[in-house]
Structure 1
C-alpha cells in the first residue's frame, strides 16, 4: 500500500472490561459533550466543526470494529455498541441544532490537517499506539480528469496561430521573506477574526470620478460600481466582490477586465447564468467578443475575448484552459467552491494556480453574495483562488500585511488587525439598502438559461414540428390564394395563427403552444429554484412565482434539498392555510422562500419582507406579471425590488418575454390605465404564433 495515501493504522489497546471508563469511548463522550454545549450557544465554530467530524468518523470506525472483531466477547460487544449509540445520539441532536454540520459527514467531504491532527491526539489519549506520521515528498500525480479531456478544433487553431505566449518577467521578483510569524499557525486565527463580526466588511474604495468614462454609450454605471472600477484602474487586481444580488457584479467584472486589459478572460459560472454572461458582454464591453462552452465545445470560438464555461463541464476542458494564456479569471457564485474535496473546487483552484504561474498580476475576481454559508472556513477556497493563502498558510502579500501589524495571534488586538488586513486584500461588500439611492425602486432583470438536456431538446423538437405544421398550412392556403404583397402574406399568416390558436384551446392531445409552454416551465423549474436558493442565502427572503403545479412542486423539492425552509400559496388552499403560509413567511425568520401561484397569489397579499422575486414562468399578460411583482413593491418597502425573470434561451419563451414587454410599454402610454385590450392573453398567444410562422417563412 502507498504509505503516502493510506490512512494511518493503530494497534489495539489492551482489552478493557465492558464497564470500565478507559479507552476510546470515554474520550469520544467527553468530546461530544463539548460540541453539544457549543451548539447550544449558536452556530458551531471551526474548531467545534472539526471535532464533530472527527468524533463521527471515529464512531463509525469503532462500530465497524466492534461488529467484526472475532476476539470480542458478546457481552462486551453489546455494551460497546450501546455506548457508541449513545455518542451517536448526541451527535444527531447536535446536528439537528446546527444542520450545516451534516455536510461534514458526506462521503466526498475531506478531512483538513486540523482534523487529522485531532484524530491522532484522541487516539493517543485513548491509549492506542498510532504510527508516526510520514511526510513524503508528493509524488507526481497524473491528471485525474485526463480521460475526460477534450480539445475543441478552434483551440487547436488558436494554438497554431500563436504557439508562444509572451513571458512575464515580473514573476522572477524575490518573494517576501517571513520572519516574525514564520512558525505561527495563522489560517485558524484569520477565519476566527471574521466569526464575531467587527463592523463593515468592505475595503476602502477610492472616490469615483464625477463622470465615469468606462461605460459604453447608452449605459450608465451606478456610483458604487464606479468606485469599484476606480480601484481596478488604480492597480488592485484581486477581489472578493460580495455585493448583494441585483447590484451589478457581472457588469463590474466585465468593465474591470476592460480597464485592467485582462483579456482573454475566463468566466466560470453556474449553468443558470452562462447565457446571461454572454448577453452582458455585448451590453457592457461591446467591442469585445464572447464564447460559451457547451458540452465538448464543438461551437467554441477560442479566439474570443471572454470564454464562458459552467462548472459542470470544467472536467472536460481544464487541460486546454490552463494553457490558453488567460490574463484574468472570474468565478461567479464562488461559494460553489467552498468544499475543497469537491471536483469543481479542485478544478477551479488548479486553473487559478496555472494562471498565477504564467502571470504576476492576473485579474482574479470571486463573485458571491454568500461567501460564508456554514462557517468562516468557507472563505478558505475563495481566498486560495484569489492567491491570498495556500493550503496551509498566507501567501507573500497577505503575510507581509500581517507582519506589518507588529502583533502575533497570542496578543490582544491581533484578530481585529488581521481582519482589516484580509479585507484590504480586496473584500468588497455592498447591500441594496446601502446603495438604494443608486437603484430604481422596481426593475425586472432577465436571466436567459440554456436548456441543453433531454427536456430542452424535446422542447426544441416540438417547436420545430409546430413551425413545420404552420408552414404546411400556409403553403396549402397560399397555393389557392397566391398572395403577392407583404400585406397579403401577413393577412394569411395571421389567419393561420388564429386557426392554430383556436384548435390548441380545444385540443386534448398532441403538441401545441400551451403544451410547449408547460414543458418549458417544467424544464426551467430546477434552474429557477437553484437561483432562488442563492438569493435566499445571500439576501434573505425570496418570493418564487410559477403558473403550473408541477413547477411549484419541483421548486419546493429543490428548496428542501438545499435546506431552505419554504411555504406555498396555491389555488386549492383554504383561506386559513393561506393565512398560515403568509404569516410564516412574514414572521418566521427560518422561512426563507414562499412558492406562489401566479393566479392564486398575484393579488391581495402583502409580501414586502422580501425585495427579490423570481418569476420562474412567464405570464401571458404584462398586468399579471406586474401584479406579482407588486406583492413586494408596496408602501412600506424599504429596499428596491428586483424581479428575476427566468427565460429559456432559443425557444418561444424568449419571444413571449419580448411580446409581454412590448405590450407593457403600450399600456404605460394609455392615459386611462385600461390596458385590457392591449395586453390580453389571446393577443400575446396569437402574436407568439405569428412570430414563429414569420421566422420560418423569413418574412
Structure 2
C-alpha cells in the first residue's frame, strides 16, 4: 500500500471518528456500572439496545463487536449464574479497554465520548484526624498535574474520571478494585485504625498512604497470630462452652475469622511508622486437637464416676462441669503462656475470682522517688502488690486467702511491674516522680490528690504554660508566637529543675529559644557558674554568630582545637565546645560545675555504650537541656539514652527500660506500653513541625550554614590561594585587568572547588566537610518528612552527593545537562513519597521546572549571582506550593566563598561584576576586589 493510500485511509478513519462522536453512527458502546463492576452495552443513537453484525465493521470496531458477538453467542447455550444477563464486564476482558478508547464511540450515560487521559495515576489514601477519637479517610487519584476524588475503577489498572470523562491508567490496585468505595469513611474510630489499615493493605496493592507524619514501610518477617481460649459461656448445668480461636495484636478475637487477611499493619506511635507485615496464622485445628487431648485425660477419670462426655462442634468444645473444673485448675495455669484467655470473667461459678483488681497505695514524699506500701484488692480479698506480682510471674494467676484464683489481665500486671519497684532489703515499693501521673490513673482520684499533691501541681502546670503572662528578657529579636511558647516551656522546666528536649523541626529557631532562656537565667543568676553547650563541630560558628547577634550581653568562650584555656572558661557565661572535645577532655570537665549542660543535635549521644554518652553523663550541671530535630532516629533505645542524660530517675536501668518498654513496643506492638511511654515523656519533649506553625512563618526563610575546612583541606587551599594571588598580580601587572579575566576566572573556579569538593582537585585524597554537613542536614530533614532540593554548581559535587545518599539508602534523583528524561524525573520526585531528594545543577534546575513537592532547598556551592540563586529557590517556592520554603546556603569558612559572601553584602552589583550563572567570564572585578577575595 502506497503512502498516499495509507494517508487517505487514515483520513477517512478520522472522519469516521468525528461522525461517530456526534452519534451519527448506528452503534455505540455505553459504559455502565453495577455491583460487580464496569460493563458495556451496545446501543443505537437513540440509546436503545442495538443488535448488529460484526462483519459489517473493520479494524478496531470489528474486534470489539466480534468479542461481544462471541459472548452473546455463548450465553445462548450456557447460563452463567453469577452473570445471568451475560454482561460484558471489562475487568474480565481488559484488552477491550484500549480498543474502546480508540474506537471513538465509547460513551458515558450522558452520551459524551470517553477519551484516554495522559500519564499514569497513583491511588492514595489520606487519613485526617477530625477529633481525638476519630479520623476521616479519603481515596484520591494523583497525577503530576491534578488530584481527583470522583472516580470509578473499570478494572485493576484503569479508572474512569466522571468529572473530566477520561480513562486513566494506574498501577494495578488488586482484584478488589470494586471495593474501593468502602475505604472512604467520614468517621473512622481511632481505636479501629489498625484493623482498618490491615484490611486496606490486604485488599489493595500499589496504594500510598498519607497519615500525619507516619512513614509506611514493608517487612517480610511474618507476624504470628496467637492461639486463644475463648470462654463463651457457662450454662445452667455449669457446662463450659470453650472455643479455640486466634488473635492478632490489639484486635478482637473474631477479626481473622471475619476477614480474609494476609497482611497486618503494625502502628508504632512512638516512632511514627506503619509497618506492613505478612500474617502467619496458627492452625486452629491442631490446637483444637491438643486441647481435646488435654481434656480427655480428665474425661477418662470422669467416666468412672458416670459423668457425661465432651461435645465437639468444629472448634467449639462443650465441657461438663467436673472435667471443666479439672481443666481450669490444673491446665489453664500452664497454658496461659501459650494461649490468650478471652472471657475469663464468665468463670465465677468455678471459684475464679472475677472482681477487677483495685490498687491501694500509701507513700511518703521524696525528691525523685516516693516510698511506701501497695496492695491489690479483689472484692473483699487483699494481697500485697509484690506477692501478687510474684505469683503471677510464676503461675500466671493469683491464689487469694479464700482459696479462689484471680485470673488477672497480663497487660495490667505488666504495667504494675513497670511502675512499681521493690526497695532493696525492704518490703516497700518505690515510685518514680515521673511515673506519678500514670499511677494516678490506677488509684482513686481522692487518694491521688492527698498523696501526690506536690507532683500533681507540677504536672498540671504544663497545661497552664500557654496562658501564662511573662516578660521576655533583653534580646535582639522578636520571637514568633511559637518561639515565645517554647521559651515559656523552657523556663517552666528551669523553675522546676527538670530536664527537657526542645525537638522543633529544623529551621524553627531552637538556638534562639535557648539563647532567650540563657539571657533570662544569667540576668538573675547568683551562682556565677558557666554553662556548657556541646555540639557537632559544624555548628560552632553558627552558635558564636547567634550569641553575638541576639544576646551580646552573654559572654562566651569557644573551647576547641588549640583554643583551650582552663582559666578562660571560669570568666564567661557560656562555653561552646564540640562533642569530640567533651569526650577527649572529660577528665577536666567532670570536676567542673556548670549551671546548664546543653546538648545540641543531641542524637549524637544516642549510643549507650559509646565513650561520648558516658562522658556527657559525667557533666556536673544543675540543669540539663537537649536540642534535636530528630530525638529518635532509629529505635527507642535512643530515647532512653536521651532521658538518661536529661532526667536519670525517669527510667532506671537500661535493662529495665528494654524489659518494660523497648521489647514490648518494638517486638510485640504493645499498645499499653506505647501509650504509657508517650504519657511519661510527653511533658518533657516539645516538638513543633514546620507544618504546625505555617501561619507564623514568612513565605521564605533563608539561612547560612558555615562549615570549617579539614586541616588537609586548609593546607591545600592555602597553597593554591598563595599561588594564584602571586600569579594574578603578575598577570595584571603585565597585561592589565581586562586581559587577565580568564586567568582570574580559572583561579576563582579552582578555589571554589577546593572549598566545596576538594576531592575533585586532589584525585579524591581530601574529603569534603561540606558534603558531610549537607548529608547530616538532609538526614535530619528526611527524618522530619521533608522533601529537599539540592543545587550544586559542579558535576563532581552532584556525583559526590549522590554517592553519599546511596550509602545511606536515601532515595533520590539527579538532573544534569546530559539528562534526557527530565519530566519523568520531575514526576517521580513530585509524586513518589519515597523519593526525598532532588540533586540538580544550576543549568538544568535553575529555570523551567515546577518542584513544589519540596519545601527545603540547599545551595551547596553558591554561584554568587543572587538572582540565579533566588531563581533556584523558586523552583520550590512558586504557584502550586502550599508549604513555606526554607533555604540553606552552605559556606566554607576561611575561603573564597566567605569572602564573596561578605563582598556581596556591600556590593549588590556583584552579579554583574563576577559570573553570570557561573558560565560567563569575569566582567568587571576591580583589583581591590581581587585583593579582598584572594587576600588573607
| Distance in 2 between residues matched to 1:44 and 1:377, nearest whole Å | 18
1:415 to 1:452, Cα distance in 2 relative to 1, 3 A: closer
| Distance in 2 between residues matched to 1:187 and 1:684, nearest whole Å | 73
2:849 matched residue in structure 1: 605
Displacement, 1:596?
1.2
1:690 matched residue in structure 2: 928
Bigger mean CA offset, 598-607 vs 203-212: 203-212
Corresponding residue pairs, total: 480
1:286 matched residue in structure 2: 552
2:754 matched residue in structure 1: 519
Displacement, 1:691?
3.7
1:624 matched residue in structure 2: 868
2:582 matched residue in structure 1: 314
Asked if 1:241 is matched to 2:502, the reply is yes
Displacement, 1:42?
5.3
Deviations 1:303-329 (A, max 9, x none): 443222223443322222223322112
1:459 matched residue in structure 2: 717
Of 637, 640, 643 in structure 2, the residue corresponding to residue 380 of structure 1 is 640
Asked if 1:428 is matched to 2:428, the reply is no
3-state SS of the aligned residue for 2:806? helix
3-state SS of the aligned residue for 1:326? strand
2:743 matched residue in structure 1: 503
| CA contact 2:725–2:935 (8 Å) conserved in 1 | no
Asked if 1:371 is matched to 2:631, the reply is yes
| Distance in 1 between residues matched to 2:835 and 2:906, nearest whole Å | 36
Q: Taking structure 2 as the reference length, what is the TM-score of the superposition?
A: 0.46
Asked if 1:554 is matched to 2:800, the reply is yes
Displacement, 1:462?
2.4
| Distance in 2 between residues matched to 1:208 and 1:445, nearest whole Å | 31
| CA contact 1:501–1:685 (8 Å) conserved in 2 | yes
2:466 matched residue in structure 1: 207
Deviations 1:574-599 (A, max 9, x none): 1x2x2232222111211111111122
| CA contact 2:536–2:579 (8 Å) conserved in 1 | yes
Deviations 1:542-568 (A, max 9, x none): 111111111111111222222221111
| Distance in 1 between residues matched to 2:473 and 2:266, nearest whole Å | 43
Displacement, 1:433?
2.0
| CA contact 1:647–1:653 (8 Å) conserved in 2 | yes
| Distance in 2 between residues matched to 1:443 and 1:573, nearest whole Å | 30
1:239 to 1:174, Cα distance in 2 relative to 1, 3 A: closer
Asked if 1:227 is matched to 2:471, the reply is no
| Distance in 2 between residues matched to 1:412 and 1:311, nearest whole Å | 36
Displacement, 1:601?
0.9
| Distance in 2 between residues matched to 1:224 and 1:230, nearest whole Å | 10
1:295 matched residue in structure 2: 561
| Distance in 1 between residues matched to 2:715 and 2:812, nearest whole Å | 31
1:213 to 1:45, Cα distance in 2 relative to 1, 3 A: closer
3-state SS of the aligned residue for 1:256? helix
1:255 matched residue in structure 2: 516
1:28-39 correspondence runs (5 A): none
Asked if 1:176 is matched to 2:394, the reply is no
| Distance in 2 between residues matched to 1:256 and 1:611, nearest whole Å | 29
Deviations 1:248-286 (A, max 9, x none): 001111221222237622222122222111111111211
| Distance in 1 between residues matched to 2:737 and 2:591, nearest whole Å | 52
1:613 to 1:697, Cα distance in 2 relative to 1, 3 A: closer
1:415 to 1:695, Cα distance in 2 relative to 1, 3 A: closer
Displacement, 1:457?
2.8
Displacement, 1:419?
2.8
Structure richer in strand, relative to its length? 2
3-state SS of the aligned residue for 1:281? helix
3-state SS of the aligned residue for 1:545? strand
Asked if 1:585 is matched to 2:829, the reply is yes
1:695 to 1:451, Cα distance in 2 relative to 1, 3 A: closer
Displacement, 1:346?
2.8
Displacement, 1:387?
1.4
1:325 matched residue in structure 2: 593
1:695 to 1:550, Cα distance in 2 relative to 1, 3 A: closer
3-state SS of the aligned residue for 2:369? coil
3-state SS of the aligned residue for 1:184? helix
Asked if 1:639 is matched to 2:883, the reply is yes
Displacement, 1:339?
2.4
Bigger mean CA offset, 330-339 vs 457-466: 457-466
| CA contact 2:913–2:923 (8 Å) conserved in 1 | no
| Distance in 2 between residues matched to 1:323 and 1:677, nearest whole Å | 55
1:465 to 1:292, Cα distance in 2 relative to 1, 3 A: farther
1:33 to 1:536, Cα distance in 2 relative to 1, 3 A: closer
Decide which structure has the larger Cα Rg and report it.
2
1:96 matched residue in structure 2: none
| CA contact 1:232–1:260 (8 Å) conserved in 2 | no
| Distance in 2 between residues matched to 1:213 and 1:46, nearest whole Å | 35
Deviations 1:161-207 (A, max 9, x none): xxxxxxxxxxxx8653244599723599999x99xxxxxxx964723
| CA contact 1:203–1:428 (8 Å) conserved in 2 | no
| Distance in 2 between residues matched to 1:47 and 1:247, nearest whole Å | 22
1:160-175 correspondence runs (5 A): 175=368
3-state SS of the aligned residue for 2:519? helix
Structure 1 gaps of 5+ residues are: 1-30, 49-124, 126-172, 195-201, 399-410, 478-494, 668-674
Displacement, 1:472?
6.6
Structure 2 gaps of 5+ residues are: 1-219, 226-247, 250-261, 272-337, 339-365, 375-384, 387-415, 422-431, 439-460, 658-669, 758-767
Displacement, 1:378?
2.6
Deviations 1:362-406 (A, max 9, x none): 1x2211222222233331111111115466359xxx9xxxxxxxx
| CA contact 2:858–2:889 (8 Å) conserved in 1 | yes
1:696 to 1:569, Cα distance in 2 relative to 1, 3 A: closer
3-state SS of the aligned residue for 1:327? strand
Asked if 1:615 is matched to 2:859, the reply is yes
| Distance in 2 between residues matched to 1:611 and 1:46, nearest whole Å | 25
1:373 to 1:470, Cα distance in 2 relative to 1, 3 A: same
| Distance in 1 between residues matched to 2:580 and 2:845, nearest whole Å | 35
Displacement, 1:676?
6.2
1:57 matched residue in structure 2: none
Deviations 1:627-675 (A, max 9, x none): 11001111222221110111111222112223445566x69xxxxxxx8
